[in-house]
Chain A
């Protein structure tokens, strides 16, 4: 921007750039002070929008974690028809073992299945009834050579006679994926809406600064200040607002998430949660980027709309 001066003196040029940056930052800070209430409103609105983005992101990270945890233990389970005798079970087992992609087959009796369920869920009194009338069927558990084959194998298995029902971990994965997709959709819509509101508030704050400085701006234009020289302070003001909102949002999100992880981890220990430290980096990056983006975009709109002379 300052190519007209010091082009041949790198140090002078650098010093000029530093002076500019200082004076731009000073102008931007003055804008912050001038419209105190409006600035607080803008920062708060952007922060709320960023809270939604951040919360959705944390939820998404955890759903992805759950999905991959489930995926790692993908196996196909063929539940046998009730009343199928030993021979029938052995026949089905033979047929299953012959299917392509099946590494091994294990027979699980209904008693064994009930005992496992009991182990998984802990000692609850309600199990006493179940033990008497065990509703679980016998089943055959298939280890696959490759988890990707689960849907194909499951389909082949379901066509065999003697098999009443087939489940595979992939169904859970699919469900988790579908859930995170809808979380993303809802969060996306909410974010878009809030970002729109935040943008309007930022635009208005910057507009107030433009109005407060319109005399200066008019004279700057008149004496030949470049358009970018005039725009910079406003863009920096927007950037600062966005960054302040992002900072506040990150603090709130991390505190609440740390609390939530501690609570959930204690009561549902089998849930594979993403740790606070691990989540911090992508979260902070996304929220900061979002805040700065809304701030800069808002001031750019304001500058375009209200800075025409």
Chain B
């Protein structure tokens, strides 16, 4: 599903976010990327949805060589995956329904297919009864579920989540993890960066630990930290 080959990413200001990282994620996997702030977790995800290009090495998503993707093909890549952020990135002036529908509308989905697909996505994240609310009237957990609905409404085979529980209280975090697990069970590959030790330790999924821009641990059914 996803493959990084000896990837190094350094930014123009001299910061080296990733050094020689190689990683392979199989279809249907659920992977936690853990590690302290500034170790390149977000950069790794950005390479996957082509918000950044690696300085060295190659990145594959599906069978696309993301490194060599021409600018015009980025849209196609983005339609094949979903991205969720810590700060939700919902449009404040639009309802939950419209926020989710937006992703379909701007990617050219046929109009009559939009409503049922949005409905299905909202059902999946358990937000059907909030469809007509504005983001500001929702709790943080609900907003994050709305943004997850937007990320999956295109039926992507890969879901990237960058600290999705970073702004949420423990209860809401659990809601989010349940939703992500449900999505993963349907066959979607999920890669999630997190600081949330509890979540990682309870779910016991594959854990990839980064430190100083390098992978220092890659463990199946792992814990947040080795000594835990």
Given known pairs A223-B79, A224-B78, the reply for A16 and B91 (CB within 8 Å) is no
B106–A227 contact, CB under 8 A?
no
B89–A222 contact, CB under 8 A?
yes
- A to B contact number (C-beta, < 8 Å): 62
Q: Is residue B154 within 8 Å, beta carbon to beta carbon, of the partner chain?
A: yes
A220–B106 contact, CB under 8 A?
yes
Q: Is residue B174 within 8 Å, beta carbon to beta carbon, of the partner chain?
A: no
Q: Is residue B83 within 8 Å, beta carbon to beta carbon, of the partner chain?
A: yes
Contacts of B154 in A (CB 8 A): 223-224
Q: Is residue B33 within 8 Å, beta carbon to beta carbon, of the partner chain?
A: no
Tell me the complex Cα distance, A115–B74, Å: 84
Within the complex, which residue of A1, A6, A218, A224 is in contact with B89, where a contact is CB–CB below 8 Å? A218
Number of interface residues of B (CB under 8 A): 26
A 1-19 binary contact with B (CB < 8 Å = 1; else 0): 1101110000010001001
- Near A by CB (< 8 A), chain B positions 57-99 give 71-72, 74-80, 83, 89, 91-92
A216–B91 contact, CB under 8 A?
yes
Q: Is residue A215 within 8 Å, beta carbon to beta carbon, of the partner chain?
A: yes
B75 to chain A minimum Cβ distance, whole angstroms, is 5
Given known pairs A5-B108, A19-B111, the reply for A225 and B75 (CB within 8 Å) is yes
Q: Is residue B110 within 8 Å, beta carbon to beta carbon, of the partner chain?
A: yes
Tell me the complex Cα distance, A220–B108, Å: 11
Contacts of B92 in A (CB 8 A): 215
- Near B by CB (< 8 A), chain A positions 1-40 give 1-2, 4-6, 12, 16, 19, 23
B 24-52 binary contact with A (CB < 8 Å = 1; else 0): 00000000000000000000000001000
A231 to chain B minimum Cβ distance, whole angstroms, is 12
Given known pairs A215-B91, A216-B91, A218-B89, the reply for A223 and B107 (CB within 8 Å) is yes
B78–A222 contact, CB under 8 A?
yes
Q: Is residue A107 within 8 Å, beta carbon to beta carbon, of the partner chain?
A: no
B71 to chain A minimum Cβ distance, whole angstroms, is 7
Q: Is residue A73 within 8 Å, beta carbon to beta carbon, of the partner chain?
A: no
Smallest CB gap from A226: residue in B: B75
Within the complex, which residue of A1, A215, A230 is in contact with B108, where a contact is CB–CB below 8 Å? A1
A223–B102 contact, CB under 8 A?
yes
Smallest CB gap from A213: residue in B: B91
Tell me the complex Cα distance, A16–B79, Å: 19
Q: Is residue B9 within 8 Å, beta carbon to beta carbon, of the partner chain?
A: no
Contacts of A222 in B (CB 8 A): 49, 78, 83, 89
A229–B108 contact, CB under 8 A?
yes
A224–B110 contact, CB under 8 A?
no
- Near A by CB (< 8 A), chain B positions 142-175 give 150-151, 154
Q: Is residue B109 within 8 Å, beta carbon to beta carbon, of the partner chain?
A: yes
Contacts of A226 in B (CB 8 A): 72, 75
Tell me the complex Cα distance, A220–B150, Å: 11
Tell me the complex Cα distance, A223–B89, Å: 12
Tell me the complex Cα distance, A66–B201, Å: 92
Within the complex, which residue of B77, B89, B110 is in contact with A5, where a contact is CB–CB below 8 Å? B110
Q: Is residue A184 within 8 Å, beta carbon to beta carbon, of the partner chain?
A: no
Smallest CB gap from A221: residue in B: B78
Contacts of B49 in A (CB 8 A): 222
Query: Please, could you name 6 A-B residue pairs with CB atoms under 8 Å apart, sorted by A?
Result: A5-B108, A12-B110, A221-B74, A224-B78, A224-B154, A225-B106
Q: A23-B105, A224-B154, A226-B75 are in contact. List 19 more A-B contacts (CB 8 A).
A: A5-B108, A5-B109, A12-B110, A216-B91, A216-B102, A219-B91, A219-B102, A220-B106, A221-B78, A222-B89, A223-B103, A223-B107, A223-B154, A224-B74, A224-B78, A224-B79, A224-B80, A224-B107, A229-B108
